[in-house]
Amino acid sequence: MARMTKALAEKRPFLLASIVAALAFYYLRSGPWPEAWFIPLKGASVGLLAVYARVRHGGTDARLLSVLLLIAAGAEMAMEIDGLAAHVLWFAYHAVALMLYLQHRRVLPGGRDKVVAVALLLAPSAVLAWLVGEEWGGIISAAYGLTLGGMAAGAWSSSFPRARVAAGAMLILAGDLLWFAGGGVLLGSPVPQIFTWPLTYLGHLLIALGVVGSVWKREPELKLVSSR
């Protein structure tokens, strides 16, 4: 473990800093300090992934990934302050993510792949409509669910490695649904508080690693500083 940490510190300092910030936010926020102190730490944990992506590769995809992660950093902080602002930023995140994934659509997806993609697209809307329950709130949440599902379906249908990028998108989807459940069926339960951040951050981390690793192999001439 010590050897792995040292290797990360030497070769991937921004990635290590991101992981440390994410762990610090998760474990220290339950302490006696004001919650507001940890909001910048939460944003930094995802923002540092954007820096990692940018210094690892100079291509268009890496730049778009950096923008995506910066939007996610803003959305994560907004979740602690203003729910409406968080939704607006998450909508922007899903739109930019879908743009990235559609630029790298998987060639000739099989019938099973199409079924999974359709399920990922539609299921979040149905789940959110049920979680929210109220007529207008349910309709708005269902519309938001389409953008969330579109992001996950796009990741699944992309040519990026599914074990990282699609898996990361599904973790973000799960974290988002759990966050909504915290205001409805799981109101008062500690489950959303415990699991929403680990699921969402791990999703961001997997997407960053998957996209950067993919473009690193595909466009070696655009590598930046290999020691970072």
- Give tens-digit pLDDT for 33-62: 787 888 999 999 999 999 999 888 667 888
- Which residues sit opposite 158 in a β-bridge? 105
pLDDT above 70: percentage of residues in the chain: 86
Both structure tokens of 41: 């730490």
Q: Give the span between the Cα atoms of 216 and 57, in whole angstroms.
A: 7
Which of 127-131, 134-138, 156-160, 166-170 comes out lowest in average pLDDT? 134-138
Quick one: CA dihedral 202, 205, 211, 213, positive or negative? negative
What's the pLDDT score for residue 7?
Answer: 46
- Give tens-digit pLDDT for 72-90: 999 999 998 988 899 899 9
Nearest to 217 by CA among 155, 151, 161, 153: 161
Whole-prediction pTM: 0.88
What's the pLDDT score for residue 227?
Answer: 41
Residue 161: pLDDT band by 50, 70, 90 thresholds? very high
What's the pLDDT score for residue 10?
Answer: 47
User: HSE (CB half, 13 Å, CA atoms) of 191?
Assistant: 15
What's the pLDDT score for residue 3?
Answer: 57
- Which residues sit opposite 105 in a β-bridge? 158
Count of C-beta atoms within a 10 Å radius of residue 51: 19
CB 165 within 8 A of CB 211: yes
Per-residue pLDDT at 107 exceeds 90: no
CB 200 within 8 A of CB 176: yes
Dihedral pair phi/psi, residue 61, rounded to 5° = -65, -40
- Which residues sit opposite 223 in a β-bridge? 57
Q: Is 108 left (phi over 0), alpha (psi -120 to 50) or beta?
A: left
Q: Give the span between the Cα atoms of 215 and 222, in whole angstroms.
A: 9
User: HSE (CB half, 13 Å, CA atoms) of 136?
Assistant: 0
What's the pLDDT score for residue 16?
Answer: 92
